[in-house]
Amino acid sequence: MDSLNKHIREYRLQLSKGQIQKAYKGIMTFMSSLSTYLESSYPDYTLSALYFGYMDMTYFAFTPKNLKNKKLKIAIVYLHEKGIFEVWLAGNNRKIQGSYLDLLRCKNIGNYQLSQFLPGVDSIIESVLVEKPDFDRPEELKKQIEGKTIEFVNAIISYLSDIDN
């Protein structure tokens, strides 16, 4: 069994090199800038505070009113270990998540795939936004994320409007 002291020694060793701090600060700065950019571009959407995470994921919610009224949210997520951006449809709580998973289970949702209703899974649907983000070109990266997120949001609204009718 690995000891916590051993993990902390390795953590401190890696921190002493300085790269982790620079990378983490760069990711947080980008995510904050992305949130500000989307908020100014989509004033009708609700944005949440940035969740920094435990170096596993960092995200914020970016939700149009009609989804918010259904107690749903769109999360733009950076997965640290994979180094990718994803977009998730999520519920405000597990009960809502389960209800929408049931509603969408028999629905054609195109190239998207439903998540599993398992402990630790907070999404209803997940989709990769950018597999190889280029943080050295932040404006282009923001546009990539924006375009694919809006495409995802429009698809989700369409799927749910079919259910409502």
Residue 165 has a pLDDT of 52
Q: How confident is the model at residue 119 (pLDDT cuts 50, 70, 90)?
A: confident
Residue 84 has a pLDDT of 98
Q: How confident is the model at residue 15 (pLDDT cuts 50, 70, 90)?
A: very high
Residue 110 has a pLDDT of 85
Of residues 5 and 110, the one with the higher pLDDT is: 5
97, 104 contact by CB (below 8 A) = no
Supply 103's token pair.
């509603």
Of residues 120 and 54, the one with the higher pLDDT is: 54
pTM of the model: 0.92
Q: Tokens 């990769």 — which residue?
A: 128
Residue 120 has pLDDT above 80, yes or no: no
List C-alpha distances in Å: 82 to 11, 133, 154, 161: 19, 11, 26, 33
Q: CA 149 to CA 86: how far, in whole Å?
A: 9
Q: Is 28 exposed, middle or buried (0-12, 13-18, 19+ CB in 10 A)?
A: middle
- Give the start-to-end residue ranges of the domains of the chain: 28-164
Residue 164 has pLDDT above 70, yes or no: no
